[in-house]
């Protein structure tokens, strides 16, 4: 199980690096899906299969399809890629990257000295999570559903074309 | 068993990369991807803490469910805003979008 975790974590980090560095939005999106799938594997190795399934179904499935559709509708050309290229200059990156590297080294040093936790009981099957969701956490489920409803209404309202606006018009 | 520190390290790296994407990308869609990455790193943190420190409580898994809900709602509203920006300005380059009123 350990080697699976390390491999999946490495894949997640590399894929996420590529999300940041790919200039083309579609390429970045594909790497983002890889990264989310790798994190789902990490969840599974940690003993949370329900969360792993949610990650694949909702994140890598539904949300990413939304992104794909929007990128398709935006119809970004090569000129958008050129705009991003200006931000990849090494001299722009060196100073901040060095400083953040120092901070990262400190964080690594600190957490490696942290005492590790205890091992676990077998909790976290989908059944147990479901029982918990509709028992003590019912309010949370209701709040989540309200939030989703608000998101739905908001997205519909924002995406609606105003009646006076001519189709395809820009400023 | 993987040391707790490694999982937290992965989570930190993912969060930092998401923040970098959010700050440096000029494409609005890519910036939104950065937000998704950061939320995902928070999820990883929740699950790791549950597994190593509170294995008898399911709080973390419920929290992950809420975070995923927030991510879905945020993606829907954010992408609708981006479509609106594109309709008004003809671009999703965040450097060229400077006015709140179209």
| CATH number, domain containing residue A33 | 1.20.120.1200
Give the other-Cβ count within 10 Å of A103's Cβ.
10
**Short-list A111, A124, A26, CA closest to B11:** A111
Question: How many domains would you assign to chain A?
Answer: 2
Chain B residue numbers touching A104 (CB-CB < 8 A): 12, 16
Residue A68 makes CB contacts below 8 A (sequence gap 6+) with: A26, A29
CATH number of the domain at B25, please.
1.10.287.3510
Q: Give the structural domain span for B45.
A: 4-101
Distance from CA of B94 to the nearest CA of A (A): 10
Q: Which residues in chain B are closer than 8 Å to A125, comparing Cβ atoms?
A: none
Domain span at residue A161 reads 125-171
Band of residue B1 on the pLDDT scale cut at 50, 70, 90: confident
CB within 8 Å: A63 and B5? no
The pLDDT, as a whole number, for residue A30 is 84
Which pLDDT does position A150 carry in this prediction?
93
Supply the pLDDT for residue B78: 92
Is B102–A171 a contact, with Cβ atoms under 8 angstroms apart? Answer: yes
Q: Are residues A131 and A72 in the same domain?
A: no
* Spans in chain A with pLDDT lower than 50: 117-121, 169-171
pLDDT at B17 over 90: yes
Alpha-carbon distance A107 to nearest alpha carbon in chain B (angstroms): 8
pLDDT over threshold 70, residue B29: yes
What's residue A171's pLDDT? 43
pLDDT of residue B40: 93
Chain A contacts of B65, Cβ < 8 Å? 51, 54, 129, 133, 140, 144
Q: What is the pLDDT of residue A92?
A: 64
Maximum average pLDDT range among A40-54, B26-40, B52-66: B26-40
pLDDT value of position A166: 54
Cβ–Cβ below 8 Å for A117 and B52: yes
Structure tokens at A85: 């290229």
pTM of the model: 0.80
Does the distance separating the beta carbons of B83 and A159 come in below 8 Å?
A: yes
If one counts the domains in chain B, the total is 1
CA angle A10, A16, A19 (to 5 degrees): 145
- How many residues does this entry show for chain A? 171
Q: Tokens 């005492």 belong to which residue?
A: A115
Q: Return the pLDDT at A3.
A: 79
Same domain assignment for residues A10 and A90? yes
């Amino acid at each position: 199980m350990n080697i699976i975790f390390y491999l999946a974590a490495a894949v997640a980090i590399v894929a996420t690096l590529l999300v940041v560095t790919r200039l083309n939005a579609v390429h970045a999106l594909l790497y983002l899906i890889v990264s989310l799938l790798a994190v789902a594997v990490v969840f599974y190795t940690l003993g949370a299969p329900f969360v792993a399934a949610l990650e694949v179904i909702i994140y890598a499935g539904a949300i990413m399809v939304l992104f794909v559709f929007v990128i398709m509708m935006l119809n970004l050309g090569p000129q958008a890629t050129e705009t991003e290229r200006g931000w990849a200059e090494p001299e722009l990156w060196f100073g901040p990257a060095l400083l953040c590297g120092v901070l990262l080294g400190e964080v690594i040093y600190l957490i490696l000295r942290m005492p590790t936790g205890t091992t676990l009981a077998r909790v976290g099957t989908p059944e147990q999570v479901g029982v918990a969701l509709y028992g003590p956490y019912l309010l949370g489920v209701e709040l989540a559903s309200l939030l989703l409803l608000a998101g739905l209404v908001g997205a519909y309202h924002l995406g609606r074309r105003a009646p006076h606006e001519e189709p395809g018009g820009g400023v | 068993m993987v040391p707790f520190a490694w999982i937290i390290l992965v989570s930190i790296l993912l969060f930092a990369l998401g923040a970098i994407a959010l700050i440096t990308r000029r494409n609005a869609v890519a910036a939104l991807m950065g937000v998704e990455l950061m939320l995902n790193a928070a999820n990883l943190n929740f699950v790791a803490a549950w597994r190593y420190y509170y294995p008898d409580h399911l709080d973390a898994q419920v929290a992950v469910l809420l975070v995923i809900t927030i991510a879905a709602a945020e993606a829907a509203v954010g992408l609708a805003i981006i479509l609106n920006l594109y309709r008004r300005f003809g671009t999703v380059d965040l450097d060229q979008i400077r006015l709140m009123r179209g």
